[in-house]
């Protein structure tokens, strides 16, 4: 099994007991965040003057290990992101990325920009859970889903007020695209090998269906890279490791934005 297959298999096993304890109908009835209007990442990315940056909070990765200790407080980091980012991505997978749903809740409470729940969605139940815990946007990874699942999951997300990003790694996975998807993300990191190549985004941008904002993900470490990607047609730029590996992620983000403005 490759890394992605291991993560997906673990995720299916992880959620089963929780599905029994909290059926999807419960999430559809309850949850404080059902009472809060959805924050649109699409609108935020298309807003004039937007940095387009989706700044990510994640504690570790399978390939690099821990960036920050589990006890790192979310608030100082995401409040710094909130000043100039178009959105905030929160890694909620615990086993492989050290996150949890509390990170998502805390982010939603202290910010006013769209919040993406970054996890491995393999079941419709997780989408209702995402809404109940504060997400505005979910990620659907083409490499771990069938085209039929992408259509079902993105349609359900839309019906409960969530936006969705279809994440692809190659041209073949663009076959998972459907109208219900809100945005298309191109991950420069191959989730099977974890190799990173920013040219993946540049090679696929012209093949993304018109009318959906395109987001470049992973491997973005300079303002110059954003300029190149923006000129190619990208509206969003998901950056996490570049900030989280620094001693002060929030400060690193602010310095990055200042360079971008210059």
In order, the DSSP letters of 130-175 are HHHTT-SEEEEEGGGS-HHHHHHHHHHHHHTT-EEEEEESSTGGGG
Of 64-78, 79-93, 216-230, 247-261, which gets the smallest average pLDDT?
64-78
Catalytic residues: 56, 58, 118, 167, 187, 217-218
Find the CATH number of the domain harbouring 187. Answer: 3.20.20.70
Task: Say yes or no to pLDDT of 2 above 90.
Answer: no
- Residue 37, judged by CB atoms within 10 A of its CB (0-12, 13-18, 19+), counts as exposed
Of 36-50, 62-76, 170-184, 240-254, which gets the smallest average pLDDT?
62-76
Mean of all residue pLDDT scores within the chain: 92
Q: Given pLDDT bands bounded at 50, 70 and 90, which one contains residue 67?
A: confident
Q: Given pLDDT bands bounded at 50, 70 and 90, which one contains residue 96?
A: very high
Task: Say yes or no to pLDDT of 192 above 80.
Answer: no
3-state helix, strand, coil in the chain (%, to 5): 45, 15, 40
Task: Say yes or no to pLDDT of 32 above 70.
Answer: no
Region 67-88: mean pLDDT is: 89
Q: Given pLDDT bands bounded at 50, 70 and 90, which one contains residue 227?
A: very high
- Residue 69's pLDDT is 63
Residue entry with tokens 């100039």: 84
Give 232-252 pLDDT, tens digit per residue. 999 999 998 899 989 899 999
For residue 175, give its domain range.
3-261
- Residue 100, judged by CB atoms within 10 A of its CB (0-12, 13-18, 19+), counts as middle
Domain count, the chain: 1
Task: Say yes or no to pLDDT of 121 above 90.
Answer: yes
- Residue 262's pLDDT is 87
CB-hemisphere CA count at 13 Å for 133?
Answer: 21
Please report, rounded to a whole number, the percentage of residues in the chain having pLDDT higher than 90: 76
């Amino acid at each position: 099994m490759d890394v992605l297959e291991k993560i997906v298999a673990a995720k299916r096993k992880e959620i089963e007991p929780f599905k029994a304890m909290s059926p999807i109908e419960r999430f559809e009835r309850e949850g404080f965040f059902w009472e809060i209007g959805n924050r649109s990442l699409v609108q935020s990315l298309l807003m004039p003057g937007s940095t387009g940056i989706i700044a990510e909070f994640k504690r570790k990765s399978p390939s690099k290990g821990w960036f920050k200790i589990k006890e790192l407080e979310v608030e100082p980091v995401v409040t710094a992101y909130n000043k100039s980012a178009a959105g905030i991505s929160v890694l909620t997978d615990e086993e492989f990325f050290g996150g949890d749903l509390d990170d998502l809740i805390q982010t939603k409470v202290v910010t006013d920009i769209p919040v993406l729940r970054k996890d491995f969605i393999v079941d419709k139940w997780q989408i209702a859970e995402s809404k109940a815990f504060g997400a505005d946007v979910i990620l659907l990874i083409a490499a771990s889903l069938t085209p039929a699942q992408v259509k079902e999951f993105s349609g359900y997300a839309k019906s409960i007020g969530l936006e969705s990003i279809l994440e692809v790694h190659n041209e073949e996975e663009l076959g998972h695209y459907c109208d219900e998807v809100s945005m298309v993300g191109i991950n420069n990191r191959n989730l099977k090998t974890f190799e990173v190549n920013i040219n993946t985004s540049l090679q696929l941008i012209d093949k993304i269906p018109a009318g959906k904002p395109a987001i470049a993900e992973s491997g973005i470490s300079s303002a110059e890279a954003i300029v190149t990607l923006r000129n190619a047609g990208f509206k969003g730029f998901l950056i996490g490791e570049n900030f989280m590996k620094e001693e002060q992620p929030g400060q690193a983000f602010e310095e990055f934005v200042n360079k971008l403005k210059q």
